[in-house]
Amino acid sequence: MLKIGNKTFQSRLLLGTGKYPSLEIQKKAVEVSEAEILTFAVRRMNIFDSSQPNFLEQLDLSKYTLLPNTAGAKTAEEAVRIAKLAKASGLCDMIKVEVIGCDKTLLPDPVETLKASEILLKEGFIVLPYTSDDVVLAKKLEELGVHAIMPGASPIGSGQGIINPLNLSFIIEQANIPVIVDAGVGSPADCALAMEMGADGVLLNTAVAGAKDPVKMARAMKLAIEAGRLGYEAGRIPKKRYASASSPTEGMLTT
Amino acid sequence: MKLRINGQQMEVQNDIQNVQDLLASFQLQDRILVVELNGEIVSKEQYSTQSIHDGDQVEIVHFVGGG
């Protein structure tokens, strides 16, 4: 069971809702993923086309917890503004703090992320900051009181998987709050690895939305996260340099 | 009446008096959205009482797909 703030979840997969080929495929992918937390962005509405379909408005909101992000923000001030707008919908009190510091890599600005998180905690939000794999920053965010840490596996949408497993393992090891690997995941193997390392969950979007078959990939990710988590709980064997026979060495016919 | 809505300067009917009227004029009254007026969030309870004036800056935002 995943516990974030005062909420508990059966699923450890957090799913993004951007970039799906169609609304129908997206609905199926979300359903198959069994994700309970869905991320959204806050944007200006096209007020001249009120008939435009909107995914969120077609969701059974009693079944999902919304995790809006502050994507688009480059400063703490902008992130706080977006977070407050999201909360004013009355639909959510969780916020993914995302303050981008570099347009090319979309890596987060650590200073502004820290500032925004501090303000939003004081405002009573459930705060989940998206961070790089910086171990010290993760510690400082935890000390501030954030409700989960969300280190990126690799740059957003890059599909490169976990490029710094060592740092990620340090972050997981030191954390007393949930660690959710966010961004950069490309394949089910990446999810399984993150979970085997002891992550509490995985947040992904492009890896499902951009797959050839998003619905099938949603299921693959769900299964990988479950498998990885079970593997972590079961405790893997240590790696050995040489072989160790699985069959008994006694009673062999050839000796 | 001139308003700046979502960054765009536009002319709206003069009989629009409050946020509720404004949303209705765009047929947005049943949508999931949040309104910000001159930098301040307007709660749903205030829609019918929060008056709109010439030159106001309005943001009408909603949730879209994102990661």
Span A214-225, pLDDT tens digits: 999 999 999 999
Judged by CB atoms closer than 8 Å, whether chains meet at B67 and A85 is answered as no
Q: Is the model's pLDDT at B64 over the cut of 90?
A: yes
Q: Are the CB atoms for A20 and B65 separated by under 8 Å? A: yes
pLDDT at position A91: 95
Contacts of B27 in chain A (CB under 8 A): 50
Q: What are phi and psi of A13, to 5 degrees?
A: -105, 125
Would you state the structure tokens that stand for residue A42, as one six-digit string?
């806050």
Q: Which A residues 147-206 touch B at CB under 8 Å?
A: 156-157, 183, 203-206
Pairing status of strand B57-65 against strand A37-44: antiparallel
Judged by CB atoms closer than 8 Å, whether chains meet at A50 and B67 is answered as no
Confirm whether A216 is a catalytic residue: no
> At A111, is the pLDDT very low, low, confident or very high (cuts 50, 70, 90)?
very high
| Residue pairs between chains A and B whose CB atoms are closer than 8 Å | 101
Q: What is the mean pLDDT of residues B28-35?
A: 94
Q: Is the model's pLDDT at A255 over the cut of 80?
A: no
Would you state the structure tokens that stand for residue A137, as one six-digit string?
């920053």
> At A100, is the pLDDT very low, low, confident or very high (cuts 50, 70, 90)?
very high
pLDDT at position B66: 94
Nearest to A35, CA basis, from A207, A201, A230: A201
Q: Quick check: helix, strand or coil at residue A144? A: helix
pLDDT at position A53: 85
> Hey, is the C-beta of A45 within 8 angstroms of any chain B C-beta?
yes
Judged by CB atoms closer than 8 Å, whether chains meet at B26 and A48 is answered as yes
Please tell me what DSSP assigns to residue A174: H
Nearest to B45, CA basis, from A86, A62, A90, A93: A90
Tell me the average pLDDT of chain A.
96
Q: Is the model's pLDDT at A254 over the cut of 90?
A: no
Q: Is the model's pLDDT at B35 over the cut of 90?
A: yes
Spell A72-92 as b/e; 16+ CB within 10 A means b.
ebeebeebbbbbbbbbbbebb
pTM for this prediction? 0.93
Nearest to A134, CA basis, from A109, A98, A161: A109
Candidates B3, B50, B63, B64, partner chain A, best to mutate (most A CBs within 10 A): B63
Contacts of A41 in chain B (CB under 8 A): 63-67
Q: In angstroms, how far is CA A117 from the centroid of its own chain? A: 17
Provide the Cα torsion A120, B43, A85, A144; round to 10°. 10
> At A14, is the pLDDT very low, low, confident or very high (cuts 50, 70, 90)?
very high
Task: Name the β-bridge partners of A150.
Answer: A130
> At B60, is the pLDDT very low, low, confident or very high (cuts 50, 70, 90)?
very high
Q: Is the model's pLDDT at A50 over the cut of 80?
A: no
pLDDT at position A80: 98
Minimal-distance CA residue of chain A relative to B67: A16
Q: Is the model's pLDDT at A89 over the cut of 90?
A: yes
**Alpha-carbon separation of residue A59 from A24, A95, A223, A227 (angstroms):** 12, 19, 23, 28
Please tell me what DSSP assigns to residue A33: H
Contacts of B61 in chain A (CB under 8 A): 42-45, 85
> At B55, is the pLDDT very low, low, confident or very high (cuts 50, 70, 90)?
very high
Nearest to B23, CA basis, from A45, A89, A53: A45
The DSSP result for B12-61, as a single string, is: --TT--BHHHHHHHTT-TTS--EEEETTEEEPGGGTTTSB--TT-EEEEE
CA A187 to CA A19: how far, in whole Å? 17
| Given A3, A63, A87, A96, the catalytic residue | A96
Nearest to A28, CA basis, from A203, A214, A188: A214
Structure confidence by residue, pLDDT tens digits, A155-212: 999 999 999 999 999 999 999 999 999 999 999 999 999 999 999 999 999 999 999 9
Q: What is the mean pLDDT of residues A235-240?
A: 95
Contacts of A157 in chain B (CB under 8 A): 67
Q: Which A residues 120-149 touch B at CB under 8 Å?
A: none
Q: Which of A40, A54, A85 sits opposite B41 (nearest CB)?
A: A85
Q: What is the mean pLDDT of residues B40-53?
A: 96
Judged by CB atoms closer than 8 Å, whether chains meet at A45 and B31 is answered as yes
> At A92, is the pLDDT very low, low, confident or very high (cuts 50, 70, 90)?
very high
C-alpha angle with apex A157: A153 to A159, nearest 5 degrees?
Answer: 60
Nearest to A55, CA basis, from A28, A94, A88, A85: A28
